[in-house]
Amino acid sequence: MVENNKKISGLAIGVLIVSNSLPIFGVLFLEWNLFSILFLYWLENIVVGMYAMLRIWRAELPPKAPIKVTKITGETYIYKVSAYLSFFLVHYGMFTFVHGIFIYMMFMPFFESLDWVLIAFLGLFVSHGISHFKNFVGNQEYLSTSPDKEMLAPYKRVVVMHLTIIAGGFFVTEVGSPIYAIVILVILKIFIDLSSHLSEHKKYAKSRK
């Protein structure tokens, strides 16, 4: 069983690297520009949120800090998983919307075409799906996590990654958006994504020992 899990983890890592490398192909051969790349990474936030909701719903451990509500009658009850899902949907949805507006306002002048970007988006969707079903479900990582923990997890990844990417985006514009600078930005994103992926699943493994 352990050997099979290693193969599954290797598959997820391989697909992650390949799907995240598609923008390099786009930059070199399809004339993708900075906005194309940043818009793709913003779309990935939506994918992250979708799978996060599945993880919140599937997590088996009880919340470390349950949300309690006391009615006027004095009756106290604990929120169910549906409450965590609802809160995450609203809060993360607003977060993603504001982030998207920021990307649009700051980098829209570099817009050209997004046709091929949607194909790369499907690649990232598949990559996150394989990681979810092979690692989180297949390796039973859901047994060692709770709804509240999974509700917060996407923010750690999104904030660190996109602060870095946006800072890199400003640097790329300052140097005139040469192809090599955009490629370096994509490689940086792959490195951050892979490091985050490995760190996340190591934590699941440790918590189950």
Task: Kindly list the domain boundaries of the chain, sorted by start residue.
Answer: 2-207
Q: How far apart (Å, rounded) are the C-alpha atoms in residues 199 and 193? A: 10
pTM: 0.85
Give the DSSP letter of residue 33: -
In sequence order, the 6+-apart residues with CB closer than 8 A to the CB of 116 are: 26, 30, 32
pLDDT tens string 150-198: 999 999 888 888 888 888 888 888 888 789 999 999 999 999 999 988 8
Q: How far is CA 94 from CA 9, 19, 34, 100, 175, in A?
A: 32, 27, 24, 10, 32
Q: What is the mean pLDDT of the chain?
A: 84
Cα–Cα distance measured from residue 79 to residue 68, given in angstroms and rounded to the nearest whole number? 6
